[in-house]
Amino acid sequence: MIPDFALVRPRTVDDALEAMAHGGVPYCGGTELLAAMQLGMLAPDVLVDLKRLDALSGIALDGDRLVVGATTRHVDIASSDLVSSDAPILATACRALGNQRVRATGSIAGNLCFAEPRSDVAAALTALDAEVVLLSSARGERAVAVAEFLEGALTTVREDDELLVRVHVPRATGPQVYLRFQPAEYPTVSVAAVVRPSRPDPVGIVVGAVGERPYVTWVASPGAVDADAVASQADVIEDLGGAEDYKRHLVGVFVRRAVAELTRRLAGGGRDA
Q: Is 106 in the site for ligand FAD (CB under 6 A)?
A: yes
**What part of residues 12-31 is at the interface with ligand FAD (CB under 6 A)?**
25-31
Q: Work out which of 19, 33, 177, 251 binds ligand FAD, going by CB under 6 A.
A: 33
- Least separation in angstroms between residue 103's CB and ligand FAD is 8
Rounded CA separation 182/100 (Å): 15
Interaction pattern, residues 38-77, with ligand FAD; x per rule: CB under 6 A: ------------x-------------------x-------
Q: Work out which of 80, 92, 107, 217 binds ligand FAD, going by CB under 6 A.
A: 107
Rounded CA separation 59/67 (Å): 6
> Which residue stretch of 109-117, 199-207, 231-239, 242-250 sits at the interface with ligand FAD (rule: CB under 6 A)?
109-117
Interaction pattern, residues 117-156, with ligand FAD; x per rule: CB under 6 A: --xxx-----------------------------------
Q: Work out which of 17, 24, 32, 78 binds ligand FAD, going by CB under 6 A.
A: 32
Phi-psi region at 119: left, alpha or beta (left = phi > 0; alpha = psi -120 to 50)? beta
- Least separation in angstroms between residue 9's CB and ligand FAD is 14
> Which residue stretch of 6-14, 180-188, 218-226, 235-243 sits at the interface with ligand FAD (rule: CB under 6 A)?
180-188
Number of shown-chain residues binding ligand FAD (CB under 6 A): 32
Q: Is 98 in the site for ligand FAD (CB under 6 A)?
A: yes
User: Which positions touch ligand FAD (CB under 6 A)?
Assistant: 25-33, 50, 70, 97-99, 102, 105-107, 109-111, 113-114, 116, 119-121, 163-164, 185-187
